């Protein structure tokens, strides 16, 4: 395979990046506005956490069917439908200040997220060789990280004063995915580009059974769940924690955004290094150990030191995230990539639902962040132990 044929087409890469950027912005807009949302709707910390974590509950519930759907009808239709639902659900959140209504449309947004995100690794694999798939996934993850970084940076100091309501900010956060949706249907073919050994082969129920009974995929799924418990709880409650220890409401969002900004170069550079070394597990070891230290250090910092903490925690989270997403498509036959990614995400995003919700319950019960971060130390330690049992999937490249 020539180098030219091994590269993802520029059109697919650009629209895929915009899609990855757009589908997560409506999710990460919630943490910097948590106090505003909670006060205006008169809800608890746990209820506010559901507006952040309930979309990933839908991701956990529907990731396997989403992968199954993509393997059946193709990426263009399944991802395009997901983008349409993301746009509608996210925009409709802006029509009400009643908690049940906002929650219902947040869940609808989550359905669209579930149809789109599990198929990003499959999109990367459809357009790249196995050796380059990890790097291509990392590029799409960079789009997700840029989305989180930007919305955390501007939601509170720019978008909220501009609109005057959290509903207005929710509506503005829908613009990128709306643009991606408009571009997706006329400009993306199906399959986006078929490389050697990759195609839309349909679904074989025997292959689905094979995927669901693989112990190594279950280990990756549990590891991803532990990762998401830490990441989503950390990002979800960090802005309010920083405000609690003396940071301003505007600067707390900016500090938290570094979790995402530092992740972009970290993911791209270390993914390239991983490909050259032919190893994935050193990235998982290093990031997992670093997160144990970072989650405990969060209890000891002041607003000034928080900048340093977030840089290290953000790099570790981003590298581990992109590495995990690459594992299932590297472990299975290309025909099973959608199902394998769906399985890992289905189990993995249970942690993203449970973590922030537990954090909210702890805050409602104790009013203290101490056990929020201590729970993240414990889960990070469990994840580090689990690395022992994960497969090494990488192969050295020239």
In the chain, where the domains are located: 10-186+203-389
pLDDT of residue 3: 42
pLDDT band (50, 70, 90) for residue 196: very low
The single residue listed with the structure tokens 């709707």 is 41
Instruction: Give the model confidence (pLDDT) of 315-360 as tens digits.
Output: 999 888 888 877 887 787 766 776 787 788 889 999 999 999 999 9
Cα–Cα distance for residue pair 383/385, rounded to 1 Å: 5
Q: Between residues 142 and 383, which one has the greater pLDDT?
A: 383
Structure tokens at 154: 């501007």
Q: Please state, rounded to an integer, the average pLDDT across all residues of the chain.
A: 86
Does residue 390 contact residue 281 with C-beta atoms inside 8 Å?
A: yes
The single residue listed with the structure tokens 């190594």 is 216
Helices 99-116 and 75-92 cross at an angle (nearest 10°) of: 160
pLDDT of residue 100: 96
- Is the N-terminal amide bond of 183 cis, ω within 30° of 0? no
Distance of CA 147 to the CA centre of its chain: 10
Cα torsion 121, 122, 123, 125: sign: positive
Structure tokens at 196: 């050697």
Instruction: Give the model confidence (pLDDT) of 102-114 as tens digits.
Output: 999 999 999 999 9
Residue 15 pLDDT exceeds 50: yes
Instruction: Give the model confidence (pLDDT) of 276-306 as tens digits.
Output: 776 778 889 889 999 999 999 999 999 999 9
Instruction: Give the model confidence (pLDDT) of 69-94 as tens digits.
Output: 877 888 889 999 999 999 999 999 99
pLDDT of residue 329: 73
Does residue 357 contact residue 46 with C-beta atoms inside 8 Å?
A: yes
Cα–Cα distance for residue pair 110/116, rounded to 1 Å: 10
Residue 61 pLDDT exceeds 50: yes
pLDDT of residue 9: 73
When pLDDT is averaged across residues 175-187 and rounded to a whole number, the result is 94
The single residue listed with the structure tokens 């597990």 is 281
Q: How many CB atoms lie within 10 A of CB 76?
A: 18
Whole-prediction pTM? 0.84
Pick the range with the lowest mean pLDDT from 38-52, 181-195, 339-353, 367-381: 181-195
**Buried residues in 275-309 as b, exposed as e (16+ CB within 10 A):** beeebbbbbbbbbbbbbbebbebbeebeeeebeeb
pLDDT band (50, 70, 90) for residue 49: very high
Cα–Cα distance for residue pair 27/340, rounded to 1 Å: 24
DSSP 42: T
pLDDT of residue 334: 67
Cα–Cα distance for residue pair 49/79, rounded to 1 Å: 27
When pLDDT is averaged across residues 220-244 and rounded to a whole number, the result is 95
Q: What percent of the chain has pLDDT over 70?
A: 87
Domain 10-186+203-389 has CATH 1.20.1250.20: yes
Pick the range with the lowest mean pLDDT from 75-79, 87-91, 206-210, 382-386: 206-210
């Amino acid at each position: 395979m020539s180098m030219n044929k091994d590269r993802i087409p520029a059109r697919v890469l650009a629209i895929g990046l915009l899609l990855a950027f757009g589908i997560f912005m409506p999710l990460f807009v919630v943490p910097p506005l948590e106090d505003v949302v909670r006060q205006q709707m008169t809800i608890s910390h746990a209820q506010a956490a559901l507006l952040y974590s309930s979309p990933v509950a839908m991701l956990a519930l529907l990731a396997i069917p989403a992968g199954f759907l993509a393997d059946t009808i193709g990426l263009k239709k399944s991802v395009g439908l997901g983008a349409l639902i993301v746009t509608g659900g996210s925009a409709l959140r802006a029509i009400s200040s009643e908690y049940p209504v906002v929650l219902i449309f947040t869940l609808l947004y989550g359905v669209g997220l579930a149809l789109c995100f599990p198929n990003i690794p499959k999109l990367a694999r459809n357009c790249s060789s196995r050796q380059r798939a990890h790097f291509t996934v990392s590029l799409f993850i960079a789009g997700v990280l840029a989305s989180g970084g930007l919305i955390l940076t501007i939601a509170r100091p720019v978008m909220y004063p501009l609109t005057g309501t959290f509903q207005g900010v929710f509506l503005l956060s829908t613009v990128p995915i709306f643009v991606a949706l408009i571009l997706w249907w006329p400009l993306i073919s199906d399959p986006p580009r078929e490389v050697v050994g990759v195609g839309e082969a349909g679904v074989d129920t025997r292959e689905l059974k094979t995927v669901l009974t693989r112990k190594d995929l279950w280990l990756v799924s549990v590891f991803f769940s532990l990762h998401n418990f830490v990441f989503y709880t950390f990002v979800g409650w960090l802005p309010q924690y920083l405000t609690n220890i003396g940071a301003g409401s505007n600067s707390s969002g900016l500090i938290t955004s570094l979790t995402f900004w530092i992740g972009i170069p970290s993911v791209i550079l270390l993914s390239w290094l991983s490909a050259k070394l032919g190893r994935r597990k050193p990235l998982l070891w290093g990031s997992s150990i670093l997160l144990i230290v970072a989650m405990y250090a969060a209890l000891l910092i002041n607003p000034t030191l928080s900048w340093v903490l977030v840089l290290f925690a953000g790099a570790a989270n981003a590298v581990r995230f992109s590495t995990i997403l690459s594992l299932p498509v590297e472990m299975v036959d290309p025909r099973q990539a959608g199902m394998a990614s769906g399985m890992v995400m289905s189990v993995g995003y249970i942690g993203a639902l449970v973590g922030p919700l537990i954090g909210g319950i702890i805050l409602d019960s104790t009013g203290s962040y101490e056990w929020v971060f201590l729970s993240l130390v414990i889960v990070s330690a469990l994840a580090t132990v689990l690395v022992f049992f994960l497969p090494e999937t990488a192969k050295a490249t020239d």
